Chain A
Amino acid sequence: MKSIVKFVVTLGLISAITGGALAVVYNITKPIIAAQDLKTLNEGLSKVFAGDYKFEKLDKPLQSIDPNLTIGDCFLVKNASGLVDGIVITVNSPGSQGLITMLVGVKKDGTISGVSILSLSETPGLGANADNPTYYVNKSTKTTFLQQFIGKSFKDAFTVKQDVIPLTAATITSKAVSLGVKIALDIGHSYLEEAGK
């Protein structure tokens, strides 16, 4: 009987202390991390929709059409004269070791203006090359893995090895990224279609 009490107290107490310490550190670092994330978000937005655009966050993220992929914040892209030129959608797609969070810019004509990765935790040297600015899928034109999506339209198939050149030895990551881009494109395009009417 005595050992039961000893176990409950030791394990309970140590877990409570670790839980408390985790929460304290999390609360202290949360604002700083949030500020950093905002900075990366803004950089990503300007990369995806180059030019002087204003980004207006929608109050409710759009509905995902694939259960495995979750949609984050969406931003309406307004040009200098206040007209809507497109939409940027945050999409989380499951990679091999973790979630890949991407910003996908969709123009009014249903083509992709740009893709940028906010966070990913793929295998270094293999999957991580998706975000590597010096890793070229097409050496002659020096286009990186993400740049190959620019200009593709919602009519394309987005299948790896056919109209999407994969990363060497990282098919899971390549599929995850192209699926994420395709879903974001479909959702964005249909949203813009309704908004346009």
Chain B
Amino acid sequence: MSYLVNLAKIFVSSTIINNIVLIQFLALCSYVGLTDNLSSTLGMSYAVIFVTVSSGILAWTIDHWILIPTGLQPALQITAFILVIGSFVGLVEMYLKKASPNLYKAMGIYLPLIATNCLILGVTFINSIHNYDFIESVVSSFGVPLGYMLAMVMLAGIRERLRNSEIPQFFKGKAIAFMITGILALAFLGFAGMIK
């Protein structure tokens, strides 16, 4: 029973309490860039979830079956993980170009940027630092991008509402997005300490 509680704890802590964007401040590049409209936000979130879960699983297996037994972890870990993530992004890019061209068009530069997206590499590192076993790392690889999606949808919603409100000229465009993210981050600080 306590194993399931532990899994639930990991899930809640990766989505809300240690939210990758608002608490750990990773993956900000695409976060601010893409949230001016909701459709590209959702598209990006699904792509990130797919790449994170698949990379998380493969990275865990490489780490535990090859890197740790052979003691090569300090040298190869970063490169092996990033090769896996970059390749999955390449696959997603080709699939999206065919399956939904307008989503591919909306994401533009941010699609290849997922590759070094701090989030995915961040997740593989979190799984390796916390010494998660297989199931725990799958849960965390699923929870973290969900937290990312939650933060993105919130910002996209706010920015959409902002469109029909007058913002001072100085703050138009991306400047206000940063301000809102700062305030959201403050709000999320309130969650800290929920899990002992």
B74 interface hit (Cβ, 8 Å): yes
A1 to chain B, nearest CB (A): 16
A19 interface hit (Cβ, 8 Å): yes
B161 interface hit (Cβ, 8 Å): no
B127 to chain A, nearest CB (A): 10
Quick check: B75 and A26 within 8 Å, CB to CB?
yes
State which of B18, B79, B126 has its C-beta within 8 Å of the C-beta of A19: B79
A156 to chain B, nearest CB (A): 16
Interface residues of B in 120-170 (CB under 8 A from A): 125-126, 129-131, 133
State which of B24, B75, B133, B193 has its C-beta within 8 Å of the C-beta of A25: B75
Interface residues of B in 76-96 (CB under 8 A from A): 76, 79, 83, 87
Chain A residue contacts of B83, Cβ below 8 A: 15
Quick check: B79 and A22 within 8 Å, CB to CB?
yes
Q: How far is the CA of A95 from the CA of B131 in the complex (A)?
A: 12
B29 interface hit (Cβ, 8 Å): no
Given A96-B24, A171-B192, are A22 and B130 also a contact pair (CB < 8 Å)?
no
Q: How far is the CA of A48 from the CA of B64 in the complex (A)?
A: 33
Q: How far is the CA of A143 from the CA of B125 in the complex (A)?
A: 33
B72 interface hit (Cβ, 8 Å): yes
Quick check: A19 and B131 within 8 Å, CB to CB?
no
Q: How far is the CA of A98 from the CA of B78 in the complex (A)?
A: 13
Q: How far is the CA of A11 from the CA of B87 in the complex (A)?
A: 10
Quick check: B131 and A67 within 8 Å, CB to CB?
yes
Quick check: B79 and A94 within 8 Å, CB to CB?
no
Quick check: B75 and A171 within 8 Å, CB to CB?
no
Quick check: B125 and A98 within 8 Å, CB to CB?
yes
Q: How far is the CA of A25 from the CA of B24 in the complex (A)?
A: 32
Interface of B with A (CB < 8 Å)? 18, 24, 72, 74-76, 79, 83, 87, 125-126, 129-131, 133, 192-193
Contact with B along A1-42 (1 / 0, CB 8 A): 000000000010001001100110110000000000000000
B61 to chain A, nearest CB (A): 17
Given A18-B79, A171-B192, are A99 and B74 also a contact pair (CB < 8 Å)?
no
Contact with B along A84-122 (1 / 0, CB 8 A): 000000000011111100000000000000000000000
State which of B18, B24, B74, B192 has its C-beta within 8 Å of the C-beta of A26: B74
A70 interface hit (Cβ, 8 Å): yes
Q: How far is the CA of A96 from the CA of B18 in the complex (A)?
A: 9
Q: How far is the CA of A94 from the CA of B122 in the complex (A)?
A: 13
Given A19-B79, A98-B125, A171-B192, are A26 and B72 also a contact pair (CB < 8 Å)?
yes
Quick check: A99 and B129 within 8 Å, CB to CB?
yes
Residue of A nearest to B87 (CB): A11
B70 to chain A, nearest CB (A): 10
Chain B residue contacts of A70, Cβ below 8 A: 131
Q: How far is the CA of A99 from the CA of B2 in the complex (A)?
A: 25
Quick check: B75 and A22 within 8 Å, CB to CB?
yes
Chain B residue contacts of A19, Cβ below 8 A: 76, 79
List of 3 A-B pairs having minimum Cβ-Cβ separation, nearest first: A26-B75, A94-B129, A94-B130
B27 to chain A, nearest CB (A): 14
- Can you show 11 pairs from A to B with CB atoms below 8 A apart? A22-B79, A23-B75, A25-B75, A67-B131, A68-B130, A94-B126, A94-B129, A95-B129, A98-B125, A98-B129, A99-B129
